[in-house]
Amino acid sequence: MKARFIIIILFIAIASFITGGYLAIKSLRDVDQVDFMLYNGPWRVNPSMDLKDTKQRALIAKVGLFALRESEVIYYTAIMDSDGDPLDSNYDYILEGSVPNARYWSYTLYGKDNFMIPNPNKIYGYNDTSISYTPKDSINPELQNISQPTYTMHISKERTGENWIPSGENNTMALTLRLYNASPEVYNNLTTIPLPSIKRVK
C-alpha cells in the first residue's frame, strides 16, 4: 500500500514537471508575440518590467537575464529594419541616429541564440565613448550646436565604414539600445522620441 502511494506521488510529480516544462517552453516560444511592448519605428520597448507577469518573466529569462529595472535602464530592441523586414545577416544595414538624452547609452548586436555574435575582431557594439560621430560642419559650425551629434553605424559580414558591427552567420539578429538614466522626456515619450533608422542596403 505504501509503495503504491509512493508511485502515485511520483507520477503526479512527474506529470506536474512535464506540464510545467511544456508551459514554460511554450511561453518562451510565444514570448516574441507580446502585448505589453510599445513600439517606436523598428524599435520596441517594455515600459515597465513586471516580474509578476508570466510573459514578462519568460521574456527576461529568454533575452534579458540580469536585466535592470526600467528606472535605471530603458531597453529598446530592434528585430526588424525600418521597412518591417526581419534583421538577417545575409543583408547589410545602415543605422543612422543622433545622441539620445541619457547619461550613458550603448548598442549591442545579438545572434539567433540571444548571445553576442562571436567574431575575430571582438566587436560587439558601441557606446557613447567608443562610437565615431559625424564630423562637424566646417562651413556652418553653428548648425552643429542646434541638434545633438549624429552618427552612422554599419552592420554587415564584411567591414564597412567606421562604426562597424560584424553580423557573422546569423539568419536572425537583434539590436539592443540601452539608455542609462534617461531624461524624463524619454520616459514620457517612449513611442515618439527620435530613434535611429535601420535601412537594409543589400
Annotate 115-180 with DSSP letters as a single string.
SBPP-TT---EEETTTSPBPPP-SSSGGGGGTS--EEEEEEESS--SSSEEE--S-SS-EEEEEEE
Residue 163: count of CB within 10 angstroms of its CB? 19
Q: Higher-confidence residue: 17 or 201?
A: 201
pLDDT at 16: 45
pLDDT at 25: 40
pLDDT at 161: 85
pLDDT at 111: 92
Domain boundaries, the chain: 1-30, 35-200
User: For the residues 103-110, what does the mean pLDDT come to?
Assistant: 95
Class of domain 35-200: mainly beta
Band (47; pLDDT cuts 50, 70, 90): confident
pTM for this structure? 0.73
> Which residues neighbour 153 within 8 Å (Cβ) at sequence distance 6 or greater?
94, 95, 96, 107, 126, 131, 161, 163, 164, 165, 196
The whole-chain average pLDDT of the chain stands at 78
End-to-end CA distance of the chain: 71
